[in-house]
Amino acid sequence: MRNQDQLCVMYKTEKDLLYFYSNLPVYLKQRMKLWQKWNSITLLQQDYDALKSRMTTQGDSGEEQGFIVEKNIQYKLHQAYEEEQTIPWGVARVQAPRVWPRVQGIGINVGIIDTGIDARHPDLQPNIKGGVNTIDASSPFVDANGHGTHVAGTVAAVNNQVGVVGVSPRARLYSLKAFDSEGSATLSDIAQAIDWAIDNNIRILNMSFGSRDSSQVLHQAIRTALANGILMIASAGNANESLDYPARHPEVLTVGATNRQNRVAPFSNYGSTLNYVQPGVDILSTWPEAPYYKTLSGTSMATPHLTGICALLLSQSPQLTPRQVKQILDQSARRLPNTAQRRQGRGFVIATRAINLLTRRIEARNNAPSAPRRR
């Protein structure tokens, strides 16, 4: 289902949802999408109009079933502008190459909710392990826009001595194609991508997109993903205003953009739930068309730098929870001078500081005296 005229309905409880859904004719179910994990369905406006009175009837509990209705909100990729450059300076600025002798992201599944990934690109192909197309399940996750391929390259372009290299060059990439060639996605497309991530052992989700509209359905999907141990990284937005959604939700790590001068980019959105800033201006990365590399700017480009750092942390210590990763990032981030907190959050995250902090914690735990045994 991909239709901007659809509606998303979320019940208060899974029991109420299933009571309503299980009694529907098969032909109606075939036109809907069930999101059981967050008590929701997506359906056509005409079906909602016909079924509305049925939705509000009493359930088997004897109480009126409560639900909320939302439009199938449009989300836009957080891409600002582009200028030609020659080197991926952001990877060097976060000092990722200094930790590669110790850790490179091996074994960590990273999902990129975006326009797809070019699986044929020589800098990406070895690390692409699968994915899904939520726009059209019968088609592969081909990237006809370029944004997703660019984001993926910053996370995990292979260290193969050609092109560029990503922050976490041996992480496992999964393409969750929810955005079309114009860079647009619907709420239901994104919800399905998150659902797929939960069911397929994704550890990190990169979400370089946003909307000014909030969604309780998407928020519930994010809460469910976090409860399943998925770390979510979202871009702040590029309008020099308050944070977009899902970046505004406290369950995600939100990233703003900096430039080569270590200043926050003038387009970068801000707010109380902004967590960090990362390189996001003139970022060189992979591209699906000749010459196969391109320079872009935006908080979309900043976000995969942090995603890559998180993959490095999880690769070194796979048992880390999202909360523990955030604690390490908070403690290792450096504040930018003369910059308000709402513009930078905790500050700029550097891979060497984060990995060194984690290493000290592991060593301290291993060297801690064991508790005496009771006799």
pLDDT tens digits along 262-297: 999 999 999 999 999 999 999 999 999 988 999 999
pLDDT in tens, 313-342: 999 999 999 999 999 999 999 999 999 999
Q: How long, in residues, is the chain? A: 375
Are 336 and 261 in contact by the 8 Å Cβ rule? The answer is no
Cβ neighbors of 120 (< 8 A, separation 6 or more) are: none
Which pLDDT score is estimated for 57? 61
Q: Within the chain, how many helices (H) and strands (E) appear?
A: 11, 16
Model's pTM, two decimal places? 0.90
Chain mean position to CA 170 = 19
Which pLDDT score is estimated for 210? 97
For residues 73-95, average pLDDT: 76
For residue 360, what are its two tokens?
A: 């000290």
Are 155 and 87 in contact by the 8 Å Cβ rule? The answer is no
| CA end-to-end distance (rounded Å), the chain | 64
Integer CA distances (angstroms), 348 to 160, 209, 329, in order: 28, 21, 9
Which residues does the annotation mark as catalytic?
Answer: 114, 147, 300
> Where does the pLDDT of residue 54 fall: very low under 50, low under 70, confident under 90, or very high at 90 and above?
confident
How high does pLDDT run on average in the chain?
A: 92
Are 355 and 167 in contact by the 8 Å Cβ rule? The answer is no
**Lowest-confidence region among 31-35, 128-132, 216-220, 329-333:** 31-35
Place of tokens 């197309």: 133
- Cα gap 58→4, rounded to integer Å: 30
Which pLDDT score is estimated for 371? 55
